[in-house]
Chain A
Amino acid sequence: DTEVTQTPKHLVMGMTNKKSLKCEQHMGHRAMYWYKQKAKKPPELMFVYSYEKLSINESVPSRFSPECPNSSLLNLHLHALQPEDSALYLCASSLLPRDHEQYFGPGTRLTVT
């Protein structure tokens, strides 16, 4: 299994909603990442989890709350988002935190209305 899966594929939410994005990998990778990608822009790193611990938070607003319940799962909890948060949210994983290439999931296309 060389796949990173993400659910849902698409999400539309209002500014007062609470929703969660999910990411899963069964490759035994010990580092997982959240990226945000706006249209025609490169992915921008949001969070890095290393051995289920939050290692990097790239000054992301608190309305985004990551969670790593176990080594295979990564969640991104969303609350009180703004329309400018609409983007493609990509999850990635790598075998180890310091080395090896990152494998990306297909992303969740989020629209905030």
Chain B
Amino acid sequence: GQNIDQPTEMTATEGAIVQINCTYQTSGFNGLFWYQQHAGEAPTFLSYNVLDGLEEKGRFSSFLSRSKGYSYLLLKELQMKDSASYLCAVRDTITGFQKLVFGTGTRLLVSP
């Protein structure tokens, strides 16, 4: 089966750092994605990890530990516009085709 867990909601202050965790148990694994989704809008790709370690992309970094089934998204220098839902998604290509299985999403609220 597929099980991807994230905290439901987090709050943080402008300028701070926040870490959003994601744990997964899936039948197949070929990478983990983080997407940002503002209310009523499409998910936007943020980062991708397929090997263990940290990937840095400006204010956003993502970490993966495959042995622990664990990832986190780190957001630095938070801005008000970072208030959104953050979706962790595992890519399963066990069938030979790319299938994204999304976690429930973490709603982040950034306050002044």
List chain A positions with a Cβ less than 8 A from chain B.
4, 31, 33, 41-45, 48, 50, 55-56, 88, 90, 94, 97-99, 101-107, 109
Q: Do A102 and B42 contact each other (CB < 8 Å), given the known contacts A42-B103, A42-B105?
A: no
Q: Which of B30, B41, B100, B104 touches A102 (beta carbons < 8 Å)?
A: B100
Counting chain B residues whose Cβ lies within 8 A of the other chain, the interface size class is 20 to 34
Q: Which of A41, A50, A104 touches B44 (beta carbons < 8 Å)?
A: A104
Q: Are the C-beta atoms of A43 and B99 separated by less than 8 Å? A: no
Residues of B within 8 A of A101 (CB): 33, 45, 48
Q: Are the C-beta atoms of B43 and A56 separated by less than 8 Å? A: no
Q: Are the C-beta atoms of A43 and B43 separated by less than 8 Å? A: yes
Q: Do A106 and B41 contact each other (CB < 8 Å), given the known contacts A31-B97, A98-B93, A98-B97?
A: yes
